[in-house]
Structure formats: C-alpha cells, structure tokens
Structure 1
Amino acid sequence: MAVADLRADEGEGALGAEAEKSKLQKHFGRADIFFFLVCTLVGIDGLGTLATKGGEGFTWLVVCVLLFAVPSAALLAELGAAFPDEGGPYVWVRMAFGRLVGAINNVFYWVTNPVWMGGTLVGTALGGLMTFFHHGQAFSTTFQYVFALAFIWAGVLFAVLSFRVGKWIATIGALARFALLGLFSVLVVAYGFVHGFHGPSAGSYAPSFSGFVVLVPLILFSLVGFELPSAAGEEMEDAKRDVPAGIAKSILATGLLYGLPVLGILLVLPEQQASGLAGFPDAVRQALTVFGGTVTTAADGTTAVTLTAFSTAVGYVLGILVVVVAFTSGLTWIMGSDRTLAVSCYDGAGPRALGRFSERFGTPLRVNVLSGVISTLVFVAANTITSGDAGKFFTVALALAVSTTLISYLGIFPAAWVLRRRLPDAPRPYRAPAIGLLTVVSTAWIVFCTVQILFPGLGDGWFTADFRADGWAFSERWTYLFVELVPLLVFTALAVAFWAVGRREVRAASQLQAQPQHAG
C-alpha cells in the first residue's frame, strides 16, 4: 500500500484538513527542536524521589536511559523523519492501526497534559514557592487557587500564540533547566567539600523489584516525549534532517541533567538526610547552606534548614527557576499534544469543531482552551478528594499523569515496526536498527509499568509498605485504585465518543459531496 493511501484512509480531507493546514506557520528549526525537547523531557517533579531511594535510584535511571530511552528514541526518530505530518503521534498510530485505535490512543496522549498541568506541575511550583518563600509552610487555600488559575491560564495563553513566540518560551525553559540543575550540581559539590562526601554503600546501588516498581514508572515518565516536536511536523523547516539530530542531542542532555543532580545528592548528603527529602526543592534548600546556614537532622531522618539572608536571597532566585521549569514543562506538552488532538478532529477521529486552527496564530485555539478547563477541574477535584493534603494530592496526580502517558505509547511505539512492514519503500532518512527488537523492548517496559501504577507491587505485595504511594495506608488501596482506574475508563469512553462523532461527520460530509449539484 502506498503512503498516500494510508494518509488518505477513510476520507482524510473531507472535513477540511487542507484548509486547516494552510493556516500553519513554519517557525521550527533544528536548534528550536533541541531546546523544545530539553524542555519537554527534563522535569524536576521526580528528582527528589529518585534520591530518597539511595543508590538504587541512580542505577535504575542509568538502566532506563540505556535500555528504554535510547531504543524508544530510535523508533521515534524514524517515525518523525519518515512521516513528518502535522499531529505526528496521532497520524502514525492511525496509519498503522486505523482511526478508532488512533482516536483512543490520542485522547490518552492529549489528556495526560492538562491532568499533569493542573495536578503535579501546579503542586511542584507551589512546593518550590513554599520551600523558598514561605519557610516550607503551606499557603492558604485562597492563594493556592489564585496561583493555580494564573499558572494554568498563562500556559493556555502562550499555547495559543504561534510557535514563533512559543518556541522562545520553550528555549527560556530549557535555559532555566541548565541554570537550575547546573547550579544545583555545583552547590552539592561545594556542600560536599564543606561537610564531607558521604555516599551510600556500594550495596545500595543493587537493583531490587521493589525499587523497580516504585521508581521505574516515574523514570519512564521522565524519559518519554522524543516524538512531541513531531506534533508540529508541518511547522518544521526541515523535519527529515532536524528530528533525528535533535533527538540524538537531547538524549545526552537529558541523561546528564537527570543523572548529575541525583548522583550529587547521593554522594554529598548523608544517607539519612537524603532519605528525608520531600522533593527536589528540599535538596536545593539544604545545599544552599554553603552560602550560610545550618542543617539539623531529627531521629526520624527529617531535616530542618536555617538559611542566612544571602543564602535566602539565592534561594529566591532558585525558587523562581523551579516555577519556570514546572511551567514550561506543561507548556511544551500542551503545545504539542493539543495539536495532535486538533489534527485527529479534522481527520475524522473527533468533533470537527475542535479541529480548527486559528487564522491569526496557526494554533488550535479551541483545544487550548479545553485543556485549560480540564486542568482547572483536575486541580479542584484532586485538591478536594485529598482534602487539601499536599502529599496525597501530589501522588494521586502524578500517578494518573504517568499512567495516561505510558498507555498512549502502547500505540505509538509499535507503529514504527508496523509502518516499516506495511510501507517498506517509504523514504526513511533515518532507519532504526533492529526495529523489531527495539519495539518489543520499549513496549514491554510500558506494559509492565502501567500495570504496576494501577496495582503497585502486584506479584509481590500489592499496596504493601514497600510499594504503595507516600501518604497512603494499606486500607486505602481500593480508594487509590478507584481514583486511578475510573479516570482511565472515562478517558476511554470519551475517546470512543469522539471517534463516533467524527465518523458520523465524515459520512455526512461524504454524502453531501456525493449529491449532484444543480444549476441555480
């Protein structure tokens, strides 16, 4: 079958695809793709968790980079270079498996991001502000809601603007990551020279099943997204050359930006202090004592940090960088995934009304607004369900975002192998080696981790102390499952409904075109 036949499957264009594509603006070059990928891949919401698990966290990070990030990136580099269509991740799955599978997979791919924006990322930004500006104390409910609304809807505003503007926000976000994580790495080394280098024992680096269950889903969540720039494939200046090059550079940058801070925490902070960290901002605050301040550790491993005026001022700067990093993480994902949903809708896998791009900005305005509404609802719902408990709020939102994200790759990764077999003669500027093996390995990681997110510890001790999320008791395991599983079922039903609406609209448009035209 020819490439054109698969791209035109079931009447693409009947709902105005060409009209919408004519609104797209080319502003996406090779450097932009690299910075966009760094901004997409490197977050800080999981760094503290990796460090609290001792050397094992670093071991699993290295294993996942080598045996998951590299294989999956190779698959996505081939897809992005060979099929540089707008809405790439959706188009690849639809070409490989059909419009219904594409619709379901794409809703999971898209909905992850408003869930993540309104849940984990708001929580991370608030955590950074609390740590550096509020002495670790919770803000009032009113402040939390005002901040969350500003955070979410500022993201929507920037997503509405064209890539000509949005790419610079992503570049600022990438530079903020280099500044924040680079400075932190320097700080922990300086802290080590002042207080001595400790480091966990060699045995703590040995991997375990409990560490796999707790850490690997979070690590995989941090290492997916190499395909996201391809959501704007037809807004790139030269996707066939730039996508593989950008992905190759971003793998190295991502590994270093994650690995060096985690290794620094492990080698510098005493094991008892590292295990008492509540998150990355806590580690930064503790390292800031090299500029002046003290750290006291209680018997339970929790620490109390007192900073001088100068170290507090430096902390303010780093706290702002934490907010910028969290904000731009959500923004890049919203910019990409909103495009995939809009493309699926004008392709007939969703309501045509959501498949419209702005004439002025060349962006999917309606989907951008919808993402903002969902983010707001997620923040309100998660905050209500957990009764304002920040710990439970964070773990619930993060687990849901991780599960929806990983599920979407069950369609994306196999698409590379399927399209290689169905379209062997399609031009491929980059060809992934041993594509069958890479597909099996990448997909197997996703399947196992998805199961473990829903049933932590299944096969050893479901929801026992070694596996359950922080802040949850064994007696709450069914509540946890309910909070995670029900949204997944709702998202699946939403995807099927989108597909049904889109299918009906395609048929109606086809029948209208088939009617004979009479002269007036």
Structure 2
Amino acid sequence: MTQAPVTSSRAHEPAPETPDLSEGWDEQRGRLRKELRRFDVLLFLICTLVGLDTIGSVAAQGPQGLTWMAILALFFFLPYGLLVAELGSAFPVQGGPYVWTRLAFGRLTAGLNQILYWISNPVWVGGSLCIIALTTWEEFFTPLPGLWKYAAGLVFIWGGALAVVQSVRVGKWVPIAGAIARIVLLGFFLVSVVVFALQNGVHALPASEFTPTYAGFVALVPVLIFNYVGFELPSSAAEEMRNPRRDIPLAILRSGLASLLLYGGPILGILFVLPSERIGSLGGFIDACKAVFTVYGGSIAADGTVTLTGAGAVLGGIAAAGLIIGLLTSGVTWAMGAHRAQAVACADGAGPAWLGTISEKHGTPVRVNLLSAVLASILLVVALNLTEGDGEKYFAAGLGLTICTTFISYVITFPSLLVLRRKYPDTPRPYAVPGGRAGAWTVTVLATCLVAFTVVVLIWPGFGVGWFGTEGSAADSLPEAFAGQRLAYTLSQVVPLLVIAAIGLVFYAMGAKTRRTKS
C-alpha cells in the first residue's frame, strides 16, 4: 500500500496511521512544509553516508580494511538497510527513530535514547569534522596559529548552524551540494590516482595483506560501521517528504550502492599512492590528495614531503575547498535529521517544551539547532585546551565519542522492529524485511550485536585481542595519539557518556509539565 503524493506546501494533518504523540507536537506539526522529493532524499542519504572524515582511518589499517569493508557490507550494511526501510515506510512520522523507540519501549527510554542520538551531532561537528577541516586548511592554505584556530573552528560550526536553521526548501540544497561535492571530489581523486600510477607506478599490495585478522577487525569495526550508518535520518523529516512510504526504501537501496563505490575507490587509491607507514587516521586522505596532485605540478621529496606548484597548487586548493565543504555538509545533513527528532521528543514530553518549538518562519527546530551549535563551540574550545592543540588526540577522542553515543542509541532503536511488528501487526508495511519472522530476527540480531560490540571496543580498544590464541596486543589497538594512555582514552569516552546520560534525565524531568498536560 502506498499513499498518493501530497501536493500541499504544508503538512496540516498527519497520515491516518500516524501514532498519537502529544498535543504539543500536534500544534507544531502544522508548521512543517512538504518539500522533499525522491531525488532530494537520495542525495540527502549520499551526503549522510559518504563521510570524508573516516576514509583515512580505514586506509590506515592497510588492505584488510577493504576486506572487512566487504564483510560488514554483507553482515551489517544490508541488514541495517532492510531494517530501516521497513520502519521508515511503516511509520513515516516526523521524528523517525524517536517515535519508533517511543512506540516500542515508552517515552522515558526513547527520550534518553534520543539525547544520545542528538548530542552525537555537536560532538561530531565540534570534534572530528572541525579538526579535519582545520587540518585541511593548514595543509593547503595557511597555518592557523593561536586564536586563529579557535576563530576558524567557530566559523565552521556557526556556518553549519546557519544552514541548518533554514527552511527545508532552502536547507535541502545543502545535502544536495554536499552529495555533488563528494562525487566530484572523490571522482577527480580517482582519476588523478590513475594518472599518478601511469607516471610514477603504485605501491604493491600483496594478497596476504588483504587477509582479515581479529586485531584488524577490532580496529576497523567502529569506523567501518560508522561509514555505513545514517539510513534513518530522512525518516526524522518524514512529514516533510512528498511520499515517504515510497521514497524511503528506494533511496536506501540506491544510496547504499552508491556509498560502497564512493568509499571503496578512494581507500584503494590511498593504499596505492602512500606507503603504509605514512597513512595516518587524520591526514591519510589529505596526504594522498597532495601526493597525487603533483602530477599537475609539484614534487615529492625523498622524505615524503609534498610540494604543490602551478596547476597542482590550484587544483589542490580547489580539492581542499571541496573537502571542507564535504565535511561541513556532513555535519549539516546529520543535524537536519537528529535535531528534528530531538524537537519531536521535547514536544512530546521527553524534554523541555521550549526546545520542541518549530519556527513558523522556517518550519525548522531553530532552538535545538542553536543549542547544538553552542554545545559544539564549547566542545571545540575545551577540547583544544585539554589536548593542548594536539589534533590527532582531539580527533581520536572526538570521533570515538561520536560513534559511541550514536551506536548506544542504535542498540535501543534497532530492536524496535521486532516489538513494533508484534504491537502493530495491522499497520500497513509498503516494504517489509523478507523472510517473515525469521528474516526480521536475523537482521535485528546482526545489526544490534555489531553496534553493541562496537561500543565495547570503543570504550576498551583491543577488546579480545590476544585472547584464545589470537595475534596482537590489546595495547596496540589504542589510537596512536593515546599510545600507552589507556586510562586517559577510556575516561575521554566514559566521562562524557555519564554527563550525557545525566543531561537526558534532566531533560526528561523538564518535560514533566508536557506529560501532565497529555495525561
């Protein structure tokens, strides 16, 4: 069953199957605008899935990164896509993941879960995205000494915030531009790799290096699965789509195939161009771009130092700008989804009602957007001070925390599929996971267990390495910037998680008045 496309510019009435939330959200619903078409959703997902901040992290693990990428595509990416396609098409309600968990497990669980999901965005924007953008600027343009680094970081954060608050009619062009920037940048990089290979040859990749190991899996599973997530984000704006029941499953299928190609090619290119010992998790993609662009003008010294000149410098600058735009649009696109879900949660009584307000002018949750930008700014300033400007340490801690908060929320969200099949068996499902009950259990168990395991290895890197005869040392799994500092790294993950949980409880307490009104 599919719904006919809605031609009205505003979403005045919920669909007949829309679950009842609160009177507070019903009041806000009429301010939404149905502006997202199928093609918009597709590019939205490409911008969401193809993150440029983790390509170097995967390449840093060598050729086995591609092997594990293929394995996880089968055992995580596919089940996860099938799971979200059913939930998104069966319950096409604004707030997506929050509403699914709310219907399955109640408002308290859903509210705490949503805090983790939402707050991962300011952590990500003020953390790994910002530091890669700053590093790229310094590599290709000019150094950012002292306060200039803070100023540039704040411009990056608030530039994204300005884009997020715009109406969906305007704001949707950000993920569209981001998707196009990714396709152009990564496509040009691959063409340049071919030209570089013809002129200079490439590094041999022995077949033995593609052999998967457990130590490699533990190191790679967080960033690989993080590369694969984001399918649920358009569902957070479901009531701003023309036809979510039809468009969500189709967009998931097409964007999933596109993301595999857009990830695999550049990672292979980096491995061909750079010696394994020179691939860093932060600068791997940046260094590879500089190296291949020497074919247009420039040179590589014996110690590996790259100097770009002439056309090489010009094209390098253009590519650097494209990379920064790609990073910015990643944060914006995730924010567009996560912030909408948080606004629904607050309007529903799982948070302060004032954060659940949708702007009449823009049709977006402006207050949540601005609060997120403030949190990202605070994180940027605090983290740069705590790490004394150490970009690698800041990047490792920020990316780890981003993945950890997001994946803990998934541990709750994914089982919603099984619960909602039982609680709402008669809800129309335009798309359903194939295989009946067994199929639903299979995709849920695979997706949930893999994200749960990822949380464990993020908090305790190297978990299981050296056990039962496996090779390697658990200490080697720590991020390079935290070598020999396991306690410091673990605290960089656990302490913020405890703070976020406390924020969730405070938010829920602040939603008491809304819940009383509802009852």
- Alignment TM-score, normalising by the size of structure 2: 0.92
Identity within the alignment, %? 44
Three-state SS of the structure 2 residue aligned to 1:40 is: helix
Contact preservation (8 Å) 2:17, 2:91: no
**Which of the numbers 239, 253, 261 marks the counterpart of 2:244?**
239
Q: Specify every segment of 5 or more residues in structure 1 that has no aligned partner in the other structure, as ranges.
A: 512-520
Q: How does 1:9-28 map to 2 (within 5 A)?
A: 12-14=21-23, 16-28=24-36
Q: Give the match for residue 482 of structure 2.
A: 472
The Cα offsets for residues 417-443 of structure 1, whole Å up to 9 and x where unpaired, read as: 211122122100000121110000001
Give the C-alpha shift of residue 263 in structure 1.
1.4
Contact preservation (8 Å) 1:54, 1:275: no
2:420 pairs with 1:415: no
Contact preservation (8 Å) 1:42, 1:177: yes
Contact preservation (8 Å) 2:57, 2:281: no
The Cα offsets for residues 446-475 of structure 1, whole Å up to 9 and x where unpaired, read as: 01110000000122369844200121131x
Counterpart CA distance in 1 for 2:357 and 2:514 is 14
2:64 pairs with 1:56: yes
2:19 pairs with 1:7: yes
Three-state SS of the structure 2 residue aligned to 1:294 is: strand
Q: Give the match for residue 203 of structure 1.
A: 208
Counterpart CA distance in 2 for 1:372 and 1:163 is 19
Give the C-alpha shift of residue 277 in structure 1.
8.1
**Which of the numbers 80, 101, 114 marks the counterpart of 1:72?**
80
Moved more, 67-76 or 462-471: 462-471
**Which of the numbers 25, 29, 34 marks the counterpart of 2:42?**
34
Q: Give the match for residue 215 of structure 1.
A: 220
Contact preservation (8 Å) 1:96, 1:419: yes
Q: Match of 2:341, as an amino acid? A: T
Counterpart CA distance in 2 for 1:115 and 1:32 is 26
Counterpart CA distance in 2 for 1:6 and 1:102 is 17
Q: Give the match for residue 394 of structure 2.
A: 393
**Which of the numbers 474, 481, 487 marks the counterpart of 2:490?**
481
Counterpart CA distance in 2 for 1:72 and 1:83 is 16
Q: Match of 1:495, as an amino acid? A: G
Counterpart CA distance in 2 for 1:174 and 1:6 is 31
Contact preservation (8 Å) 1:34, 1:246: yes
2:89 pairs with 1:89: no
Q: Match of 1:483, as an amino acid? A: S
Aligned residues: 496
Counterpart CA distance in 2 for 1:6 and 1:228 is 18
**Which of the numbers 149, 154, 159 marks the counterpart of 2:154?**
149
**Which of the numbers 503, 508, 514 marks the counterpart of 1:505?**
514
Counterpart CA distance in 1 for 2:502 and 2:17 is 29
Contact preservation (8 Å) 2:89, 2:248: yes
Q: Give the match for residue 493 of structure 1.
A: 502
2:192 pairs with 1:191: no
Q: Give the match for residue 469 of structure 2.
A: none
Contact preservation (8 Å) 2:95, 2:238: yes
Q: How does 1:324-339 map to 2 (within 5 A)?
A: 324-339=325-340
Contact preservation (8 Å) 1:46, 1:279: no
Three-state SS of the structure 2 residue aligned to 1:306 is: strand
Q: Specify every segment of 5 or more residues in structure 2 that has no aligned partner in the other structure, as ranges.
A: 1-14, 467-471
Contact preservation (8 Å) 1:382, 1:396: no
Counterpart CA distance in 1 for 2:275 and 2:127 is 31
Q: Match of 1:470, as an amino acid? A: E
Give the C-alpha shift of residue 503 in structure 1.
3.1
Q: Match of 2:423, as an amino acid? A: R
Q: Match of 2:346, as an amino acid? A: C
Q: Match of 2:504, as an amino acid? A: A
Q: How does 1:88-487 map to 2 (within 5 A)?
A: 88-134=96-142, 138-274=143-279, 278-298=283-303, 303-433=304-434, 434-460=439-465, 464-474=474-484, 476-487=485-496
